[in-house]
């Protein structure tokens, strides 16, 4: 009869992942050794191997887990059937607040996804694209006229440009918390979105 997992097994795995994400974020994936990971996790190297085969397995779990959580947030907001502006504001709020508790995982996704093998990288980036598509649908709900010009995705990427790099300048003990900055990001984007003009060719074709 196979031996079951000990109580707390999953909690220990999550703790190891959280500390690995912090170490990868601070040192870089390629510069981090299993010995350093074991030390950071407060366990022996043998114990670390009990939970994860190698540091690559940790990298996959960190990046994939992060984008899956983001995708789940997008799905939840879309299921709420909010009016268009509230939908986009809610997406921004939920994602920004998720980043507040996942800054290390987000930095790993941003900077270390290049170390994933082809199939793993494509799977992670595929989920990331679905997250972007969810935001693009929210942008189109506000500006349906953007569909023919295919501007929804570029505008969404500009929005993510504000959101994705917060970890480079926001401090955990700073004057503003992520909950404070989320509506400011939404205000900046929504305040400028009505002023976006279609490229001349697209506008002429639409006319």
Residue with the two structure tokens 């079951």: 4
Residue 128 lies in a domain: yes
Residue 19 lies in a domain: no
Residue 6 lies in a domain: no
Residue 171 lies in a domain: yes
Residue 151 lies in a domain: yes
Q: In the prediction, which pLDDT does 1 show? A: 39
The span from the CA of 170 to the CA of 178, in Å, is 8
Residue 99 lies in a domain: yes
Taking only the tens of pLDDT, the chain with its 207 residues reads 344 455 567 788 999 999 999 999 999 999 999 999 999 999 999 999 999 999 999 999 999 999 999 999 999 999 999 999 999 999 999 999 999 889 999 999 999 999 999 999 999 999 999 999 999 999 999 999 999 888 999 999 999 999 988 888 887 777 888 889 999 999 999 999 999 888 876 555 555
Domain count, the chain: 1
Range of the domain at 178: 55-206
Residue 7 lies in a domain: no
The CATH number of residue 155's host domain is 1.10.357.10
What's the whole-model pTM score?
0.87
Cα R_g (the chain), whole angstroms: 20
Residue 116 lies in a domain: yes
Sign of the dihedral defined by the CA atoms of residues 135, 128, 184, 91, in that order: positive
């Amino acid at each position: 009869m196979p031996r079951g997992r000990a109580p707390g097994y999953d909690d220990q795995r999550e703790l190891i992942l959280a500390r690995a994400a912090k170490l990868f974020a601070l040192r870089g994936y390629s510069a981090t050794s299993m010995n350093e990971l074991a030390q950071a996790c407060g366990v022996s190297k043998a114990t670390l191997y009990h939970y994860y085969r190698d540091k690559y397995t940790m990298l996959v779990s960190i990046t994939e887990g992060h984008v899956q959580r983001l995708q789940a947030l997008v799905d939840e907001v879309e299921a709420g059937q909010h009016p268009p502006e509230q939908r986009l504001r809610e997406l921004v709020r939920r994602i920004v607040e998720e980043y507040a508790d996942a800054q290390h995982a987000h930095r790993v996704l941003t900077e270390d996804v290049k170390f994933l093998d082809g199939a793993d990288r494509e799977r992670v980036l595929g989920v990331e694209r679905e997250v972007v598509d969810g935001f693009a649908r929210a942008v189109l709900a506000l500006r349906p006229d953007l569909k023919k010009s295919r501007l929804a995705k570029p505008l969404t990427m500009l929005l993510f440009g504000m959101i994705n790099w917060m970890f480079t300048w926001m401090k955990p003990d700073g004057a503003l918390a992520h909950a404070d900055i989320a509506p400011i990001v939404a205000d900046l984007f929504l305040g400028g979105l009505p002023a976006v003009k279609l490229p001349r060719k697209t506008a002429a074709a639409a006319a």
